[in-house]
Amino acid sequence: MSLVKLEYIWLDGYKPTQSLRSKTKIEKDFSGKVEDLPNWSFDGSSTEQAPGGSSDCVLKPVYVVKDPQRKNAYLVMCEVLSAGGTPHPSNGRALIQDDDNDFWFGFEQEYFLWDTATNKPLGFPEGGYPAPQGPYYCGVGANNAFGRHIVEEHLDACIEAGLNVEGINAEVAAGQWEFQIFAKGAKQAGDEIWIARYLLERIGEKYGVSINWHCKPLGALDWNGSGMHANFSNGVLRTCGSKETYDKICEAFRPVVKEHIEVYGADNHLRLTGKHETASIHDFSYGISDRGASIRIPLATVERGWKGYLEDRRPNSAADPYKVAAVIIKTVKSAVV
């Protein structure tokens, strides 16, 4: 008999941006399979998910991976249910209509490593600003890359946990980085993004560095914001071989811009200005290899004879990948092709 540490992870009910919460459960001889994990309750009155007089909410395990940083431990991503067993209103995962895993998602998660002492990104001097952006994107060297030790440790942790992380890179602003997660199935893609975020937050604790997920933490200054670009496909997009089909699916996004922007992350108007590789939040556009469009049609998709995927560039770094995936799936399905 061996004791196992199970870190139950969930999203709280804070608005407009939910945060990660977690607590540890000790079990005996866990099989490693999510179906063998019990539900567990928590105090929803402390997470903006229930009133104090009826505070119990339920954690339903939905995805489990090994915890690379603790002995005999696992990370357990959970959905939040109300006491009666129905999905809680804060439960974005329950909105995803992709039971057959036909939809594949690749999320490009940007973020800033934030110095808690200076309240600025790593690489920003205490009394001012570093050189203008330019040398930092995919940069190397002590003058260009800041916090690489944290980013590398995070990459190793994601790989050891079994997450399908596809890469990392330094981003356009000093102290800004990105990792990419891909999964065949929208729910799993969201699960893995949240677990990867959790691991990054926990690693930051060790170094006294916080993770700033805000889409424009430097305000109106001339620095890029942070996105969570959503690359997506379904069977139709992967196999149709038709420009007309791609146009029809892209056009299905035009009348529902407001619905998408509502779940693409708070304060996105600060980021989607039409500058810094973004489209204006007030417009909708799509184009081949156009990083200034709302939706980019990758050149590789066209070169494969219109078989591939699309990239929605509007979701921001603090968006919930579950809710992003849910609304994209709904819109793609609405385009009868």
- Looking up residue 87, the CATH number of its domain turns out to be 3.10.20.70
Residue 84 sits in the same domain as residue 120:
no
pLDDT digits 0-9 by tens, 177-197 = 999 999 999 999 999 999 999
Q: Which residue has the higher pLDDT, 212 or 29?
A: 212
- 215 within 8 A of 316, measured Cβ to Cβ: yes
Provide the pLDDT for residue 221.
74
CA 83 → CA 41, 76, 196, 322, distances in Å?
9, 20, 28, 22
> β-strand 120-121 against 104-115: which pairing, if any?
antiparallel
Task: Give the per-residue pLDDT at 1.
Answer: 63
The secondary structure element, H or E, covering residue 10 is: strand 3-11
Give me the residue label for tokens 């939706």.
Answer: 295
Q: Where residue 323 falls among pLDDT bands split at 50, 70, 90? A: very high
Evaluate if residue 276 carries a pLDDT over 70. Answer: no
Domains identified in the chain, total number: 2
Residue 97 lies inside a defined structural domain of this protein: no
Q: Return the minimum-mean-pLDDT range out of 66-80, 89-103, 152-166, 262-276.
A: 262-276
What average pLDDT does the structure give for the chain?
A: 96
Q: Could you tell me which of 281, 280, 313 has the C-alpha nearest to residue 295?
A: 313
- What's the pLDDT tens digit per position in 22-59? 999 999 989 999 999 999 999 999 999 999 888 999 99
3-state secondary structure of 190: helix
Q: How many CA atoms lie within 13 A of 3 on its CB side?
A: 5
What pLDDT, on the 0 to 100 scale, is given for residue 126? 84
Taking residues 293-298, what's their average pLDDT? Answer: 97
Domain presence at residue 214? yes
Beta bridge partners of 286: 295
Six-digit token string for 278: 């973004």
Picking from 60, 91, 122, the residue at the C-terminal end of a domain is 91
Tell me what the mean pLDDT of segment 94-101 comes to.
96
- For residue 154, give the 3-state DSSP assignment: helix
Query: Rounded CA gap, 69 and 173, in Å?
Result: 29
Q: Is residue 296 part of a domain?
A: yes
Same domain (yes/no): 220, 156 = yes
N-terminal to C-terminal alpha carbon distance within the chain: 55
